[in-house]
Amino acid sequence: MSIGLLIFVFVLAIFLGVELISKVPSQLHTPLMSGTNAISGIVIVGALTATGSGADLLGTLLGTAALIFATVNVVGGYLVTNRMLAMFKLRGREKK
Amino acid sequence: MTDYSQTLIDLGYIAASILFIVGIKMLGRPERARRGNLVSALGMLIAIVAVLFECCLDFTWVITGLVIGSLIGLIAARTVKMTSMPQMVALLNGFGGIASFLVGWENFHSQPDNTLFVQVAVILAVLIGGVAFSGSLVAYGKLAGKISGRPILISQHRWLNIAILAALMICGALLIYFPPGPLLYVVFVLFMVLSLALGVFGVIPIGGADMPVVIALLNSCSGLAASAAGFIILNNVLIVAGSLVGASGLILTGIMCKAMNRSLGNVLFSGFQAVSSTAATTTVQGEPKPITPEEAYYILEAARSVVIVPGYGMAVAQAQHAVRELGEILENNGAEVRYAIHPVAGRMPGHMNVLLAEANVLYEQLAEMDDVNPIMETVDVCIVIGANDVVNPAAREIESSPIYGMPVINADKARTVLILKRSMAAGFAGVDNPLFVKENARMLFGDAKATVQQLVAEFKES
């Protein structure tokens, strides 16, 4: 893949991110932050690649360590976000 | 591998990217947020499955890593208390940062003679990932109370940070121009240590009340670090997801700064002036008027409209359930109850909303500052629970105040203000609060949870 294309994708995604977030009610800031934090665990893909491409044992160990941290970030991030969002209740659904 | 299967993998990455975008979009709407999170989780799953079909993975290590990481994540997410959510998010964010850092290190270790482009990506992944990791750990320590939340300053702190930055630039340049070899590895290790140091010394002088901004910024960093890792392994899905997070984190940072009427630079570097600014504050004239819970009960009993303003004190006292109970009793008593939430109340963006939601407060009862302020004059009683700076009228009235110009909830404009507070100590900003001595203000001293429970008991007895 050409370098120019990668940078192109990067710049477009930055603009898209700005557009997506600009109008979020403050009530949702925490879940949004925790949800996007889980998405930054996408580095798990890089960690998986690194685990396979290690030149020696240290390389593999570094990749595996990256994989463990990234997995905690992904699994923990999504579950925590889900737990928080599950608590936001709308009137009518569970009004006692 | 055939071209055909590579195309399938690429299609998987594209599907994952689309699901992330749709997921983030849905996270911004209350009624669809939960499904949005699941959509983005599905995207993550597809991305992981797709990369597993790429060549040359060592499955013993892959499975070991995935299992250990999943178990830790699962247990941590299940056991964490809602009141500890800010530090949990900080910690998870740090883990994302260190993962990018390690991916960069692994790449340098295994392929030291990479192209210039990849070298720069490695440098950025290590730098940004390292700062996100160590900065998040310090933020975690401050939020969990393991290190003091007050700004910590080492002598010549500003110069120390400038020296670290300069050293990072020199090492970075050496990393690009030196040929691979043992000497280069030494420089690389030095670069890693300096990156981690930058995160520590950058975050440690920032006060606990500014943590919402810091966490949002570090969140952005870990996204950008993931993006840099994407440039290392030349993978579009990392670049897209990482930059989406990076951009959204920056937007949130901007929103938080705006809510405090401060620039990002001011938040990041104001710790350096911490000592001088507190000395300059004007002292407030007047006596606070303490009352007993019984007297407060009579005030509340007659109230037809009530606004509750929660702050960090409510989180510390874990008073959210008691507060919700009080709110329900007031509603049954015929009052209209709303919760007014300042964007930077607490230690994380939207911290109060999460706690109140945990206590089953209905989403519609949570109001934003801009919706509450115009009607504040028609409110009978405003109950301030463990909040201080976000209701400080000095932000409107006293030009010499360090928080002058910060948008605040105009609690003082309600007919009566009940303030639940542990003592007369100043808030996090170290600023005196003229609200406490206003004519219509009444103080209820004591632990927020105990006081609210006493109020509830008064209502039940009558």
- Measured at the CA of B283, the angle between CA B278 and CA B286, to 5 degrees, comes to 150
Average pLDDT for chain B: 86
Give the pair of three-digit tokens for residue B198: 């930058």
Minimal Cα–Cα distance from B56 to chain A, Å? Answer: 6
Tell me the whole-structure pTM to 2 decimals: 0.85
Q: Say what the pLDDT of residue B75 is.
A: 95
Contacts of A93 in chain B (CB under 8 A): none
| Residues 6 or more apart whose Cβ sits within 8 Å of residue B251 | A17, A18, A21, A22
Looking at per-residue confidence, does B83 or B87 come out higher?
B87
Amino acid identity, residue B50?
Answer: A
| Residues 6 or more apart whose Cβ sits within 8 Å of residue B124 | B224, B225, B228, B231
Looking at per-residue confidence, does A55 or A15 come out higher?
A15
Task: Give the torsion sign (CA, B215, B221, B227, B229).
Answer: negative
Q: Say what the pLDDT of residue B56 is.
A: 66
Hey, is B339 helix, strand or coil? strand
Q: Is A4 on the interface with B (CB under 8 A)?
A: no
Measured between alpha carbons, how far is B437 from B285 in angstroms, rounded to an integer? 8
Dump the DSSP string for B280-296.
TPPPPPS---B--HHHH
Q: Say what the pLDDT of residue A41 is.
A: 93
Range 219-278 of B in CB contact (< 8 A) with A: 219, 222-223, 225-227, 229-252, 255
Please compute, for residue B294, the number of CA atoms within 13 A of its CA located in the half-sphere on the CB side. Answer: 1
Minimal Cα–Cα distance from A4 to chain B, Å? Answer: 11
B3 catalytic per annotation: no
pLDDT for A70 beyond 90: yes
CB B19 within 8 A of CB A17: no
Tell me the C-alpha to C-alpha distance, in Å, between residue B120 and each of B183, B230, B378.
18, 12, 59
What tens digit of pLDDT does each residue of A23-43 get? 777 778 888 888 999 999 999
| Residues 6 or more apart whose Cβ sits within 8 Å of residue B40 | A35, A38, A39, A78, B19, B20, B22, B23, B24, B27
Measured between alpha carbons, how far is B404 from B397 in angstroms, rounded to an integer? 8
- Pick from B37, B85, B95: CB nearest A82: B37
Look up the ipTM and state it. Answer: 0.91
What tens digit of pLDDT does each residue of B172-212 get? 999 988 888 888 999 999 999 999 999 999 998 887 778 88
Cβ count near B315 (within 10 Å): 26
pLDDT for B238 beyond 60: yes
What tens digit of pLDDT does each residue of B405-440 get? 888 899 889 999 988 888 766 555 556 788 888 888
Contacts of A70 in chain B (CB under 8 A): 69, 95-96, 99
Measured between alpha carbons, how far is B359 from B349 in angstroms, rounded to an integer? 18
Nearest 5°: phi and psi at B53?
A: -90, -10
pLDDT band, very low/low/confident/very high, at A94 (cuts 50, 70, 90): very low
Amino acid identity, residue A57?
Answer: L
Helices within chain A (DSSP H only): 3-21, 29-39, 43-53, 57-87
DSSP bridge partners of B444: B420
Q: Say what the pLDDT of residue A96 is.
A: 34
